[in-house]
Amino acid sequence: MKTKVFLLGLFALIAIGGFAQDETRKFGVELNGGASFGIAKLDDAKLNAGFGFEGLLHYEFVKNLGVYAGWGWNRFVSDNSFAGIDARFEETGYVFGLQYRYPISNSPIAVFVRGAGLYNHIEIENVDGDIIADTGHGFGGQAALGVDVNLGSGWSLSPGVKFNFLNRTASYQNVEYELGLQYMSARLSVIKRF
């Protein structure tokens, strides 16, 4: 019995040591997706739960601190809004920010926090999928936090949450609407580091 416990412990130490070697990788590619939840009305539109995804590139320029940039898309539907019944609100654009990643002791787990700028726009589509208004691109922001679980060989799985905000103006049927998009997202990421 003691031999089995010793061998199991030895195997765990070797595995953790293998995970620690991945910490020297500076570049990464991330794909994430998940559910999004509006936390404020978009003008008069109450947003139903939506979904979205992002593709990101990472570069860690000093230990635990790096930059990231990429492109994202989120979609919400509103049952009834100034744009009609079942209008779709799609936010797309670019994200660029800083990430601080803190490894927890010698484990394969790290926590991270992110702060970013957005350069996004909101397209409004009718029930047929036709674009009926577009805000044009403008600046917003993003804050995120999560856990990074190192799977070895440069791969990580990373659950997290993020908050996005973007204020834009849309013109629909000769009326200007102030669109203050604010939402929380629950995301799951797959990351490959090089």
3-state secondary structure the chain: CHHHHHHHHHHHHHHHHHHHHHHHCCEEEEEEEEEEEECCCECCECCCCEEEEEEEEEEEEECCEEEEEEEEEEEEEEEEECCEEEEEEEEEEEEEEEEEEEECCCCCEEEEEEEEEEEEEEEEECCCCCEEEECCCEEEEEEEEEEEEEEECCEEEEEEEEEEEEEEEEEECCEEEEEEEEEEEEEEEEEEEC
pLDDT, tens digit (0-9, with 9 covering 90-100), for 21-46: 445 789 999 999 999 999 988 888 89
State both tokens at 49.
């739960």
**What does the angle CA 131 – CA 95 – CA 58 come to, to the nearest 5 degrees?**
140
Mean pLDDT value across residues 133-147: 97
Which pLDDT does position 157 carry in this prediction? 97
Angle, CA 159 vertex, CA 61 and CA 153 arms, to 5°: 55
Q: What angle is formed at CA 110 by the lines to CA 160 and CA 74, rounded to 5 degrees?
A: 20
pLDDT-derived band of residue 169, with 50, 70 and 90 as boundaries?
very high
Q: Give the tens place of pLDDT for each residue, 58-68.
A: 999 999 999 99
> What pLDDT does residue 3 have?
47
Q: What is the pLDDT of residues 120-136, one digit of tens each?
A: 999 999 988 899 999 99
What is the predicted pLDDT for the residue at 23?
54
Ordered by where they begin, the domains of the chain are: 2-193 (2.40.160.20)
What is the rounded average pLDDT of the residues 65-81? Answer: 95
Contact predicate 66/59, CB 8 Å: yes
